[in-house]
Structure 1
Amino acid sequence: MPIVVIHKNGEAHRGEVKDDTNLVVRAGIKQFPFPYLAYKCGMGKCATCASRIIGGAEHLPPPNWKEKKQLGDRLDEGYRLVCQLWIKHDIELVQD
C-alpha cells in the first residue's frame, strides 16, 4: 500500500493509504490525511489542493486539462492538483 507524506507548516505527516486512493476523497471522509490536506471543491476548479510533489512524481500520469488550466506555469515547478490524482505509489508532497 502506498505511503503518503504531506509537509505542511513545518511538520511532516505520514500515513498509508489503499492502492488507487484519491487523497481529497479520503480527507473528505475524515481519513488520512485529514486535517492536514487543504482542499475545497475536489473537482479541479478551485486549486486549493495544489501541492508541490517532491517525491514519486515519476509514477503520476501527465497533468490533465484541469491541472493545465488551474496551474499553468506552476506545473513546471512540480505542482499538481491532488484532487485529480489517484495514488498507486508512494508520494511526498508539500502544501504551502
Structure 2
Amino acid sequence: MPTVVFHKGGQTYTGEVKDNTNLVVRAGIKQFPFPHLRYECGMGKCAKCACRVLAGAEHLPPVNWKEKKQLGERVGEGYRLACQLWLNNDIELLQDVEA
C-alpha cells in the first residue's frame, strides 16, 4: 500500500492508501486521511488540486494534456494535478496554501 506524505500550511500529514488510489476521488467520498487537500472539479479543469511532487515522481505516469494546459510552466517545477494521478507507489506532495 502506498504511503502518502502531504504537506500544507506548515503541517505534515502521513497515511497509507490502497493501490491504484486517486486522492481527489478518495477525498470526495470521505475516505482520504488528509481532509486538507484542496480540490474542486476532479476532472483536470480547474487546477485547484495542483500539488508539487517532492518525492516519487519517477513512479508517476507522464504529464497528460490536461495537466499541461492547466499548469503550464509549473509542470517544469514539479507540479501535477492530484485528480489526474492514480497512485501505486509512495509519494510526497506539497500543496500551496491559497492566498
The TM tier, using the shorter chain, reads over 0.9
Q: Work out whether 1:49 is the aligned partner of 2:17.
A: no
Partners of 2:60 and 2:75 in 1: how far apart? Answer: 13
Partners of 1:33 and 1:58 in 2: how far apart? Answer: 23
Query: TM-score scaled to structure 2, two decimals?
Result: 0.94
Query: TM-score scaled to structure 1, two decimals?
Result: 0.97
For the 8 Å contact 1:45–1:70, the answer to whether it is kept is yes
Q: Which residue number corresponds to residue 91 of structure 2? A: 91
Deviation string, structure 1 residues 18-53 (Cα, Å, up to 9, x no partner): 000000000001122441110000000000000000
Partners of 2:24 and 2:76 in 1: how far apart? Answer: 22
Partners of 1:29 and 1:50 in 2: how far apart? Answer: 19
Q: How many residues align?
A: 96
**Structure 2 counterpart of 1:86, one-letter code:** W
Partners of 1:32 and 1:55 in 2: how far apart? Answer: 20
For the 8 Å contact 2:52–2:94, the answer to whether it is kept is yes
For the 8 Å contact 1:26–1:34, the answer to whether it is kept is no
Displacement over 6 Å in runs of 4+: none
Deviation string, structure 1 residues 45-71 (Cα, Å, up to 9, x no partner): 000000000000000010000000000
Partners of 2:66 and 2:33 in 1: how far apart? Answer: 23
Q: % of aligned pairs identical?
A: 74
